[in-house]
Structure 1
Amino acid sequence: MSQPLAGYAVVLAVGLAGVLLFGAAMVMRRLLAPVSPVATRLTTYESGVDPVGHGWAQSQIRYLGFAFLYVVFAVDAVYLFPWATVLRDTNLGMASLVEMAIFIGVLLVGLAHAARRGLLRWTA
């Protein structure tokens, strides 16, 4: 196999292994899971609470702010911690430093937006 196609073979093998593992898990679930279609097991529930009334409920818009802050801080942690662990590696070079500066800049823009909207205050 030629050198440029070797990388695709690895990706294809990993993808095929993932599909096979997923299929095996579904077959095992079908074989091993207990089956008892009782009416109470077939009803819908939300967090252990039986559904009452209509299926439509409004949620407050402030939860969107919490979700926004979570994304800002979670993405920050997911990308900054691995980069910080290999920071002393001399092979990273200036390109890595510039990329991380751009990334931190984008995060700071999101954080400034959250602060401007008042999402970082302790009292609502």
Structure 2
Amino acid sequence: MLEISGFGTVLLFFIGGISFLLVTLLIGRILRPNDPTPEKQTTYESGEEPAGSAWGQFNVRFYIVALIFLLFEAELIFLFPWASVFGDENLVAQTDGLWSKFSMIEVFIFIGILLVGLAYVWAKGMLEWVRPKPKAPDYKSRIPSSAYSRYR
């Protein structure tokens, strides 16, 4: 009997996955109709005719808000398993309520970490859509500005 090492098993799974992908793409290519028309080849823009170039400037704040949303949304997913374990009456009864106290402390720590992250983002002004203009400091230095000219 042929014995396969751990790397051989990984290689077989890799080859199997790639071959499955290629076979399904080939079957889809064979079965689907191919009837390109000028209307089908146009860019879809919410049902409207595209206006201008797609390479326009895009505000970076959209990305920041989306990243913050994804961060908090992904961390919120961790609360669902906690709620299902916390709601298990058998587990709570077996530990004489110690498990429920531990779970509550754990979730308050977790939510506290989320709130610290939210406070940080809020303090940095990343949740404000229109940022205030930065103000120049009004500090008057005793060193004359001509002293800095030789360091430039």
> Structure 2 vs 1, CA of residues 58 and 14 (structure 1 numbering), >3 Å: closer, same or farther?
same
Check whether the contact 2:65–2:127 (CA below 8 A) recurs between aligned residues: no
Unaligned 5+ segments in structure 2 are 92-109, 131-152
Per the TM alignment, residue 71 of structure 1 is displaced from its structure 2 partner at its CA by 2.7
RMSD: 3.6
Whole-Å separation in 1 of the counterparts to 2:10 and 2:81: 24
Runs of 4+ deviating beyond 4 Å: 81-88, 104-110
State the structure with bigger RCO (CA 8 A, min sep 6), 1 or 2.
Answer: 1
Q: Which residue identity does 2:8 align to in structure 1?
A: A
Whole-Å separation in 2 of the counterparts to 1:18 and 1:42: 32
Check whether the contact 2:64–2:126 (CA below 8 A) recurs between aligned residues: yes
Per the TM alignment, residue 19 of structure 1 is displaced from its structure 2 partner at its CA by 0.6
Who is 1:116 aligned against? 123
Count the aligned residue pairs: 106
Unaligned 5+ segments in structure 1 are 89-103
User: Identity across aligned pairs (percent)?
Assistant: 29
Per the TM alignment, residue 36 of structure 1 is displaced from its structure 2 partner at its CA by 0.6
Whole-Å separation in 2 of the counterparts to 1:18 and 1:77: 32
> Structure 2 vs 1, CA of residues 10 and 108 (structure 1 numbering), >3 Å: closer, same or farther?
farther
Check whether the contact 1:72–1:111 (CA below 8 A) recurs between aligned residues: no
